[in-house]
């Protein structure tokens, strides 16, 4: 018995020696070390965890101080000029922002902005209220897209003006659709009451697949007006010849499965009208607000050589409603439109479009076109408008243009108008 006890004691001492030997020879921090094993699960915070927790607390304190300071500024701006407040907030919140706000910080900021004096911000015009909220929401959506949608939904429901609420929700959804199309679809399916948002974002969600964009309209939209608007938006995204061709092919494929002739006709008409709106629009040129003369010539050449029927081409041309992006090429567009639509219809459309001639190019570009154009009918229709805009700043050019009008009453009226305007300016 004594021998067994001595033997057991020896084995125990040997095992302890082995453990001690192992602990000395293992690297520090080894998961199998005796020290690690003895302290694991004890509930005490490790040094790295404690440091991270301290950093988080410090960051939260800084954010709160920044938010308090921003609230004081918002209160100050809210008592003054609305546009000044908008500009200040734009500098602070617009990208890139100096703040590293978390979702909860943005929620507090949005609540503050929405509670400025007056339901539509007494000192900030209604449009400023809407845009300021959207600015903060869009910034939030870049980091916290779903949380931003929750806030937007809540804010939209609190607006007295439904259009303001729709705008706020649509702005936040646009950010989500751009960043994560599939997440945007999931959100829509979870919020069917907001399904009409797909009308403006179908192409953004569908990416480079216009056929899928048409399928999204079919899935989410049932109201004829919403469907028409969505179809026009699809057509309006066509910025290059290849993209236009792809949208037209997808439109034809979609229509081939529509059994109702009226519905098929509505899809076609609205897509082509949207395409007309963007044919010479800003979507042509992502790098700036204007399209170049070369881009304009390419757009016109595409339509003339497309496989569309004459009726479809005329529909696209008739839908051009703004020449504001056609800097230094506006006259060519006017002449082309009247050539595509001979007769009074083309002239009347050109007269409407003349009023959208880009202001910053008007002084130099318009008089040059008046001097060079061979389309005297169009020129004579434009000169009275030119006089209205140029008589005070460019009296010599205005007189030159007036002298190109037919002799007789039209020219005499124009010259008298110039003399009166110059006289009034010279004798205030």
Length, in residues, of the chain? 428
pLDDT tens sequence across 249-284: 999 999 999 999 999 999 999 999 999 988 887 554
pLDDT tens sequence across 73-92: 777 776 665 566 667 777 77
As given in the structure block, the two tokens for residue 39 are: 């302290």
Q: What's the DSSP call for residue 283?
A: G
Mean pLDDT of 40-55: 65
- In angstroms, the Cα distances linking 178 to 172, 197, 205 are 10, 13, 7
For the chain, percent of residues with pLDDT exceeding 70: 79
Domain range summary for the chain, segments of one domain joined by +: 61-179, 343-428
Give dist(CA 202, CA 235) in Å, integer: 11
* pLDDT category of residue 163 using cuts at 50, 70 and 90: confident
Give dist(CA 211, CA 252) in Å, integer: 10
Mean pLDDT of 398-415: 91
pLDDT tens sequence across 326-363: 878 899 999 999 999 988 899 999 989 998 888 777 77
| Mean pLDDT for all residues in the chain | 80
| pTM for the full predicted model | 0.73
pLDDT tens sequence across 90-123: 777 766 667 788 899 889 888 888 776 544 444 5
Give dist(CA 250, CA 256) in Å, integer: 10
Mean pLDDT of 216-242: 91
Give dist(CA 286, CA 184) in Å, integer: 24
Answer whether 384's CB lies under 8 Å from 404's CB.
no
CB neighbourhood size of 97 (10 A)? 14
Mean pLDDT of 313-324: 92
Answer whether 381's CB lies under 8 Å from 348's CB.
no
């Amino acid at each position: 018995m004594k021998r067994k006890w001595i033997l057991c004691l020896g084995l125990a001492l040997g095992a302890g020696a082995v453990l001690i030997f192992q602990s000395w020879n293992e690297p520090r921090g080894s998961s199998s070390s005796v020290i690690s094993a003895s302290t694991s699960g004890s509930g005490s915070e490790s040094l790295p965890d404690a440091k991270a927790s301290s950093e988080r607390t410090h960051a939260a304190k800084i954010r709160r101080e920044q938010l308090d300071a921003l609230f004081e500024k918002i209160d100050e701006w809210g008592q003054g000029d609305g546009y000044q407040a908008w500009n200040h907030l734009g500098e602070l919140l617009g990208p890139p922002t100096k703040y590293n706000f978390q979702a909860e910080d943005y929620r507090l900021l949005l609540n503050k902005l929405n509670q400025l004096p007056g339901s539509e911000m007494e000192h900030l015009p209604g449009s400023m209220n809407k845009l300021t909220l959207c600015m903060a929401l869009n910034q939030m959506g870049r980091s916290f897209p779903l949380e931003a949608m929750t806030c937007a939904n809540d804010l939209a429901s609190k607006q007295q003006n439904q259009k303001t609420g729709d705008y706020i929700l649509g702005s936040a959804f646009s950010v989500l659709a751009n960043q994560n199309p599939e997440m945007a679809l999931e959100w829509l399916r979870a919020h069917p009451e907001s399904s009409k948002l797909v009308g403006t974002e179908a192409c953004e969600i569908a990416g480079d697949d216009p056929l899928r964009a048409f399928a999204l309209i079919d899935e989410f939209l049932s109201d004829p007006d919403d469907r028409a608007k969505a179809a026009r938006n699809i057509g309006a995204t066509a910025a290059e010849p290849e993209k236009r061709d792809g949208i037209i092919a997808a439109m034809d494929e979609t229509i081939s499965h529509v059994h109702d002739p009226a519905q098929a006709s509505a899809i076609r008409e609205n897509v082509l009208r949207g395409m007309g709106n963007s044919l010479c629009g800003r979507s042509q040129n992502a790098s700036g607000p204007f399209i170049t003369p070369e881009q304009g010539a390419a757009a016109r050449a595409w339509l003339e050589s497309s496989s569309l029927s004459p009726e479809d081409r005329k529909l696209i041309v008739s839908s051009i409603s703004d020449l504001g992006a056609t800097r230094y090429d506006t006259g060519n567009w006017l002449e082309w439109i009247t050539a595509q639509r001979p007769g009074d219809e083309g002239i009347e459309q050109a007269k409407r479009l003349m009023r959208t001639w880009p202001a910053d190019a008007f002084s130099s570009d318009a008089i040059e076109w008046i001097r060079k154009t061979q389309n005297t009918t169009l020129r004579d229709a434009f000169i009275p408008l030119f006089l209205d805009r140029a008589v005070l700043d460019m009296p010599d050019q205005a007189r030159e243009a007036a002298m190109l009008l037919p002799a007789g009453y039209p020219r005499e009226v124009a010259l008298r108008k110039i003399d009166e305007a110059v006289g009034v300016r010279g004798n205030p």
